[in-house]
Structure 1
Amino acid sequence: MMADYISEREFQTAPATYQEWLDCFRFIREHPENHTVLRTLSSGSVCFVPRMLDMFLQRLDELLQETIRWRIARFLSRVDALLEDHDPDGVELEAIRFCHNLSELFFFENLDLPEDCRRQIREGYADQIDRFWRKLVSEFRFQADESRNADLEDLADRLMQLRGAWNRKGMYTE
């Protein structure tokens, strides 16, 4: 089975063949909380003929869509729980983790992809995430105004400062 092969390999070597990339993508779909593989992917190589490159880019796009959706849903679930516990500082910490997790999805920046493809993917996903983030902060501001909650308003301000963090190289360190 491919998943067993991937687990044994533990991603100590970056993918180089199309099949290795597909195996990694499958693993990420099955284990979306795993961050080790994303770090390994950034040092992978992409030396495909044009048709394979097109297929690779399509698979990459599908993976990013699914993974971002999963991470947003998980983040919102955690934020809801923290807000129920009246823990705005916990929300901020969760937001910082979320931005870090999203930044890992930009592993493709280090791949030898045609610049126009890399730019299109980067800008498309950065814009999508940015729209989500602005909507989230806007909702926090609305809730703060409605409830006259200064802590929530302060949280919205702090979250707005994180805007774009997922697309900044080197912002986070281990």
Structure 2
Amino acid sequence: MRIRELAVPGAWEFTPTMHGDERGVFAEMFKASEFEKAVGRPLDLLQINTSTSAAGVLRGIHYTEDPPGQAKYVTCTSGAFVDVVVDLRPGSPTFGTWDSVVLDDVDRRWVFLSEGLGHAVLSLADASTVTYLCSLEYTPELDHEVDALDPDIGIAWPATGRDGQRLTLLRSPKDAAAPRLRDLAVAPRGRR
């Protein structure tokens, strides 16, 4: 497994080694010893979520108040997504910094994001399915969102999907009404 820390401290990309032959493909998707060596802690698992989206569906940027925060280990089980991690930790020297990874059913990458980081996914193909392993059960009063199209964050969302067709973004009303980064209560001094 190849492991790479993203530009956002506290987030990593895990790319499994694929072993294929005429029968198909095998890969180790998680190995506790390698995960803990890279991340410095075990993967706490309290809830697993899955979501299927049409091409162009943009979910997020979502985050959970920290503390307690919610860490996530995320992969795409079918189709393709752009997975984005944003630093939303108050006082962090990288507050507002983002990085992205393409998650798909070919390379089978995973992304781990620590508590305090925001998360968004953009579906690049119809019927794309993303799965999240979460360190905290869903707690609505702790969950919040930031506008994924906020120019202050400046995420470079792709304009075309996996098939080369132009994407039309579709967001939930809640995500479309999300506040900008500068309007968050978590924004550190000087970044509002």
TM-score in terms of structure 2 length: 0.26
The structure number with the bigger radius of gyration is 1
Higher relative contact order (CA 8 A, sep 6+): 2
Choose between structure 1 and 2: higher helix proportion: 1
TM-score in terms of structure 1 length: 0.28
Choose between structure 1 and 2: higher strand proportion: 2
